[in-house]
Structure 1
Amino acid sequence: MPSAHRPALSRARLATLTLLTLVSVLTGCSADPDPTARVVPSASAPGTPRSGQPTASDAPAAPAEVAVPSVGITSSLMELGLNTDGTVEVPPAEEGMTAGWYTGGAVPGEIGAAVIIGHNDTRFGEAVFHDLKKIKEGADITVTDKTGKALHFTVTATESVAKNAFPTEKVYGPTQERALRLITCDGDFDAQGHPVDNLIVYATAS
């Protein structure tokens, strides 16, 4: 059976802008795709005005599309927030060919880590990030915002990690880079048919 990805995120301390405290890590993919992660928005989340930070009137536009030309990926982006239980919303299985931007992270092009999540497979078949494993260091990722402005990111590294060893702070923690992370499932399947790894693509603004 096809599977989907349950990414690991951190629960951030609201009292600090520089440290993230891991509270729980939810991993595992299933044939009924529900890749979720438990988070609490941090004080440095977009939309929280601070001295020297953009306000709503001059904040970057939300992303509308992601493209990875080298592996043939192009997708519109839905916005993913939090469910009532604190887990991250994910694209529904029937929209497996559409990736999603997690609105609790940075807006692509802002300083910070912007996170885009896509299914590898769902019960309906191959999904939007099925070929993401073919991406190479140096590849271009283009994110187009809702105004039509194209932002380019260069892949700096890829990493396949066991779900029980997900590098939460490295992926979601504070950074002074204009960073982008793409996340999907990867690896072999366990006895329950769940992929045992996550594929993480790291990129920075070109």
Structure 2
Amino acid sequence: MKPQEIEDLSFKIIDKEAGDHGFDDAHWQVVRRMIHTSADFEYIKSVRFYENALSSGVKAIQRGCSIFTDTNMARVGIRKGEISSFGGEVKCMITDKDVAEKARTTGVTRALAAVDKASGEMDGGIYVVGNAPTALLRLIELIRENKIKPALIVGFPVGFVNAAESKDELMTLDFPYISNKGRKGGSNVAASIINAMAIMAAKQ
């Protein structure tokens, strides 16, 4: 089978097994791609969309926004063709020398230091967190202090220390986010959400 045939068949299987999932077509495109990436149907129940978050993300991509990720895995997993066609760029600052130096001298995580470095470029952009709760908590702090105004936060840190808690905190914001309840997440799932929106942006 060719790659597109495999993907199409996978989506047919997902649609069949998901049954009456309750999402409208646009939101289902996102959730279905999350399931396709993870083989985890629990995202149907755990995913959370802030009102108009999806349209905010799609419009930001169409404007050629910058997309920041907390891991290079997420950066690599995001489709560049659609993003670059609008003039956008996907960036990850986690391995930048000045980020590493700030983390070393201040005792914070590199993920948090990378958020601080990106803060000056983040207005109107999208920040994707697929691994580090410290990055998500820093984003929440900066949003509450009105220091950054991204178009969307995709918050899917994974793990046992502050992953679920940081997502719960994100979902208290009156601000566009896509996230989920619980410990599950990951860079691959976070990237799949951007990919779904990029495809939507290209088709509109």
TM-score (norm 1): 0.26
Higher strand share: 1
TM-score (norm 2): 0.26
Higher helix share: 2
